[in-house]
Amino acid sequence: MNNVVKIILAEDEPALGQIVKESLEMRNFEVLLCVDGEEAYKTYKIESPELLVLDVMMPKKDGFTLAKEIRKEDPNIPIIFLTAKSQTEDVVEGFNLGGNDYLKKPFSMEELIVRINALLKRKKNIDTLQTIELGEFTFDLQKQTLTHKNTTTSLTHRESELLHHLILHKDKVLERSFILKKLWGNDDFFNARSMDVFITKLRKKLKLDPSIQIINVRGFGYKLIY
C-alpha cells in the first residue's frame, strides 16, 4: 500500500548520479542509486522497484545485459536507458519497445521526469487491464497469479484459464460441456474428470477468502460466487 514510487538509478558517474537522485527525490520518488550493473541487479532483487533508470555504459555489467536479466523476471517493468553521445541510435531502438525508453546524455531533468511518468502510466494501464479483483484476491491472468494480501500463489495455465472463465460467468452457471469444449477440446468422460481435479485445486487456492465459493450445480456445471 505504499504510495511512493521506488526507482533504481544505475549510474557510475557519482556527480551525475547524485544530481539526478536528488532531483527525483524532490519530485517524491524514492531513488536507490547504484554505481554498477551488479549492484543494480542485487538491489533490484531485494527492493523490487517499479522502474529502472540504467546507464548503458557501466562497470561490471552494462545496462543492456542487466535489462535482459531483469526482463526474464519481470517482462513488464519499465526501463529507461541513459546513453552516451557515441552510442548509435539503432542499438537503442532495438530496445525501444514495450516498457522501455531511452535518453541521450546530456539530458534535462524535465525530459527524464516526463519519460518516467509516461512509462509509469503505461504500466499502470497494463497492470489494471490484466488484473481482476476477486473478493480479497487479485487475479492476474497474464502472470497466472492469485494475490491475497501479501502472498501470491502461482496458478498453472489450466487453473488460470478455468478460473478466468468462472470469473467471466460469475453468479451464473458455467456449463461443464462449454468449458470442456473450450479448454479441453471435447467433453468426454475423462476430460470431465480432469476438470473436476482442477476445480478441487482452485478451491484449495481460493480458500484464503472463504466468501468465495465454486458451487456445483449437479449435471450442469459450476457457479462462482463471492
Rounded-to-integer distance, Cα 74 and Cα 204, Å: 27
The piece of 19-27, 104-112, 130-138, 193-201 that touches DNA (CB under 7 A) is 193-201
User: What Cα–Cα distance (Å) separates residue 82 from each residue in 12, 25, 136, 209?
Assistant: 11, 18, 40, 45
Residue 38 vs 187, nearer CB to DNA: 187
Residues 191-220 that bind a copy of itself (CB under 8 A): 213, 215-218
If binding means CB under 7 A, how many residues of this protein chain bind DNA? 25
Among 48, 96, 154, 186, which residue sits at the site for DNA (rule: CB under 7 A)?
A: 154
Rounded-to-integer distance, Cα 135 and Cα 148, Å: 9
Residue 87 vs 147, nearer CB to DNA: 147
**184 binds a copy of itself, rule: CB under 8 A:** no
Among 26, 150, 151, 157, which residue sits at the site for DNA (rule: CB under 7 A)?
A: 157
**199 binds DNA, rule: CB under 7 A:** yes
User: What Cα–Cα distance (Å) separates residue 176 from each residue in 74, 77, 100, 134, 196?
Assistant: 35, 38, 43, 21, 10
